[in-house]
Amino acid sequence: MSEKQTTNESRRGFVAGGVAAAAGLAIAPGVTLLDMAHARPENEAASGKNRWGLLIDTTKCKTGCTDCVTACFTENGVKQGDKETDPQWIRKVELKDLHSNKTASLPMMCQHCAHPPCVDVCPTGASFKRVDGIVLVDRHICIGCRYCMMACPYKARSFVHEPLTDQNPDVPRGMGCVEACTLCVHKIDRGDNNTACAEACKEGAILFGDLNDPESEIAKRVATYASTQVRADLGLNTGVRYQGI
């Protein structure tokens, strides 16, 4: 079935459509909104040419700072609770090397593996990897069995135990399903070309980008500087990389 185009001026999509058409246009002589060149038309599927990821510079990440966590929770409508069972899409982790006493602070979230164990174990096909590398839970299919939570080496997934109300319209969530960082898929799809956590980090410790695009800042940095995949021994080829650990 092909979706017919409606011409109703009251639809917000009208504006979005105009943007897609305007992608890459010059606003004034010599001034181009480079950001817009990345916006994919809304009727175009995500592409396997991209691999979205994050590069996190732990030397810039401040101990005790939780700006990325707060921004993620605000963007995705996750209430910051005090129960151990409350959903947690991203968390701060403090590391200490017992020999040198060197410490590091870093945000830990879904690592968007190229070979995700959560997808391997899912009995219904709800856990899946989008062609552009984003690992998601299709909550229309999720039965809440939580195998994926057991399989994830990063403890990145949460189960929603309580009924929810007042969700963010862009981010549906509800009781009985597993959820995790979506790499702000709703923002990527509308062409923001950034995640809430990366936007919020005042230290610039989180860089979002396309690991497959050799011209992107993230790919250049991964090619130039040493970076680490957490639990690289598992061979999962994570989309989230760390520097300085």
- For ligand HEC, the binding residues (CB under 6 A) are 8, 10-11, 139-140, 170, 172, 174, 177, 185-186
**Cβ neighbour number for residue 230 with a 10 Å cutoff:** 19
Of 181, 173, 159, residue with least CA distance to 238: 181
Handedness of CA 58, 60, 64, 69 (dihedral sign): negative
CB of 77 to ligand HEC, least distance (A): 11
CB of 170 to ligand HEC, least distance (A): 6
Query: Could you say which residues in the range 69-98 bind another protein, by CB under 8 A?
Result: 74-75
- Which of 158, 193, 216, 243 binds another protein (CB under 8 A)? It is 193
Question: Is 39 near another protein (CB under 8 A)?
Answer: yes
Which span (78-86, 174-182, 214-222, 237-245) binds another protein, by CB under 8 A?
174-182
The residue (of 36 and 164) whose beta carbon lies closer to ligand HEC is: 164
Measured CA to CA, the distance from residue 149 to residue 197 in angstroms comes to 22
CB of 95 to another protein, least distance (A): 30
Measured CA to CA, the distance from residue 229 to residue 245 in angstroms comes to 10
Contact map string, positions 149 to 168, toward another protein, x by CB under 8 A: --------------xx-xxx
| Helices and strands of the chain, counted as H and E runs | 7, 11
Across the strands, what pairs with 13? none
By residue count, the chain amounts to 245
Q: Which partner from the list ligand HEC, another protein, none does 15 bind, CB cut-off 5 to 8 Å by kind?
A: another protein
Measured CA to CA, the distance from residue 186 to residue 192 in angstroms comes to 9
The DSSP-derived string for 61-105 is: PPTT--HHHHHHHHHHT----SSTTS--SEEEEEEE-TTT--EEE
Measured CA to CA, the distance from residue 213 to residue 219 in angstroms comes to 6
Residue whose entry in the numeric block shows the structure tokens 């917000």: 12
Three-class secondary structure of residue 93 per DSSP? strand
Question: Is 64 near another protein (CB under 8 A)?
Answer: no
The residue (of 14 and 225) whose beta carbon lies closer to another protein is: 14
- Which of 12, 30, 31, 64 binds another protein (CB under 8 A)? It is 12
Residue whose entry in the numeric block shows the structure tokens 């602070």: 105
User: For residues 243 and 61, is the Cβ–Cβ distance under 8 A?
Assistant: no
CB of 181 to another protein, least distance (A): 16
- Which of 26, 28, 31, 45 binds another protein (CB under 8 A)? It is 45
Going by DSSP bridges, is the β-strand pair 206-210/52-57 parallel, antiparallel, or unpaired? antiparallel
The residue (of 139 and 221) whose beta carbon lies closer to ligand HEC is: 139
Q: Which residues bind another protein (CB under 8 A)?
A: 1, 3-6, 8, 10-16, 18-19, 21-22, 25, 27, 33, 35-36, 39-40, 42-46, 74-75, 128, 130-132, 136, 138-140, 163-164, 166-170, 172-175, 177, 185, 187-194, 196, 199
